[in-house]
Structure 1
Amino acid sequence: MTSKKLQMENFASSMRGCSVRQLRDALLVLDRKFGLFETMMSGHALVQNDAQTSFVRYAESLADEMQAQGRFKTAQAYRSAVKSLTTCFGREEIALDRIDAASMGNYQTWLLRRGVTFNTVSYYMRILRAIYRRAVRAGLTRSDDPFREVYTGTGRTRKRAVDAELLSVLRMTEFPDSRLRLARDLFLFSFYTRGMSFVDMAYLRKEDAAGGAIVYFRRKTGRQLTIRIEPCIKEIIDRYAPVAGTTPYLLPILSATEPAAAFRQYRSALVCFNRRLKEISRLLRLECGLTSYTARHTWATTAYRRHVPTQVISEGLGHGSERTTRIYLAAFEQSEVDEANRRILEIL
């Protein structure tokens, strides 16, 4: 054994049982005495700092963490936003210190030139801002606001609701394709259950419908909602009970119980659902095409037309605040104003 190695082992042996402060001081002595500590740690530090200062790697680590917690939708959103950002910059790695007001402004311009709506811009920016703020809290970058000059609000969306009369036509139409019939029935089920979102319908379990009510937690907010099972709801549940079979789910959308597999099925089912609603819209020659959101918006506007208070509509939808509900109703309110103006102009 060499003299230097023996000295190092004796030095380390003498440090057993020392406090953290004593160990820290001892490491400094070791570094000065042998000049090896800095060399030993330099490679590790470079790798660690590179991983910590990479916005992309940090975002991926958060997405992995979300996925491990079963928060698949959030993980997917993180990855989607980061993929868009890396596509814009044309590189796979983006350092945290490159996330500044100028780069985010350029990213917003790039998105808008690609025809992306302001609401989609806001969607990406709010996700990236959430990742950035977590990096700040973790001490990986300075506390700054690189998103101060980009759009992160929520604007009015195009009208997504349809007239309630259309729902009667939809209910009475006989579709020869069983897949279109299922899409139609799921759309109606959403309307009947106060605009239940597709993800919540997909994950409904048989035990959630008991005692004459459906009791479930919204996956988006975690809020518990209770819906009385009206005859029209029961009709759809009974119709598809044989199809749902031995699965734990109430409706024939998912079959997998393993979380990651179930989420993949949900994503695929949502795409198919919207594709079939588009086909139904074409067959019925609808000007306003049906989507997975339409039933929810239609329930809200139908309730509003019948003078149901906004607070009650907000509770029915499971919104956390009336502000979100007013966004739903904004397009309807505008159409009401336009109709009033038309009637006034008819006097002339």
Structure 2
Amino acid sequence: MSLSYWPSPSSSSSASFRCLPMEKPTNPFLSPHFVPIRFKPTLQIPNFALKSKNRRPTISCCSNNNSVVAETRTTSYERPPGAKRGRKYSKQYPGQKEGITEEMRFVAMKLRNVKGKKVEADSSDEEEGEEDDGNGGGSVDEDGDGGGGAGQTWKPTMKGFVKYLVDSKHVFDFVERIVDESDDVSYTYFRRTGLERSKGLSKDLEWFRQQDTVIPPPSNPGVAYVKYLEGLVEKSPPLFLSHFYNIYFSHIAGGQVIAKQVSERLLQGRELEFYKWEGNVEELFKGVREKLNMLGKHWGRDEKNRCLCETRKSLHHMGQIVRLIIL
């Protein structure tokens, strides 16, 4: 308590003062019961605080006696409402932008032969080499080397070449008949493409018959391939069409080399009907390629991957048929 002096109202003298009691002013900040209050730009709710923008998430807890304010920082991150998840991009396959036929072409590159030696490509489908000659392991090159191994001379025989024509006709007869007679709408796109080979092969075999050449029945490579294709016709049209495409691809890409070799060595320069087309064969094949790419847009990635596996099988089977020429 303090004393305050005020002049007495009955006294005129300035020296006369009156002593009055006076309470000591209280300072609220010095009170032992004062609890500091922290003002935040958030709405305070008992035992919980809303997060404010541009602040790290915190949880404010108050004790029962309102004497302690504890803050606990959270380490987990909560995605804001409406925020989009990060997009995961799938790996691009070689040729994927151009279409399924370009993807199959990249697979064929890995199976190419260079002067009778098989070039081993990387096990993945991403790194590829040059374009395959189209015969999937049974091709021939300009130097006369075959696909039978390094150092083996490619010497075609008349008997072997006729067997090659017979097995080729067996395969082309089957795929062209399926495309013409099937009720599946995807097969109808590939009717009367101008690439058909059955009629030309029939003419060639008839000419050989007139030359007193014995025409044998289809051998094991051709029969085995047709049997395999029979299992794909109803099971999966995309897989069958991948074989359909690669059969013509291998014949067009590698057939010209074979025709030149055989014509010079066995037929005195005669050109067979098997290697003749009405019109530009590149333009005809381009039409088939565009149609298959159009259908491929509706196939899933797993189905396309299976088509790439079937490409290897197709080129392998066609290569086995080509090897009949030197047997």
TM-score category of the 2 structures, normalised to the smaller one: under 0.3
- More helix per residue: 1
Give the structure with the higher percent strand.
Answer: 2
TM-score (norm 1): 0.22
Which one scores higher on RCO, CA 8 angstroms, separation ≥ 6?
2
TM-score by length of 2: 0.23
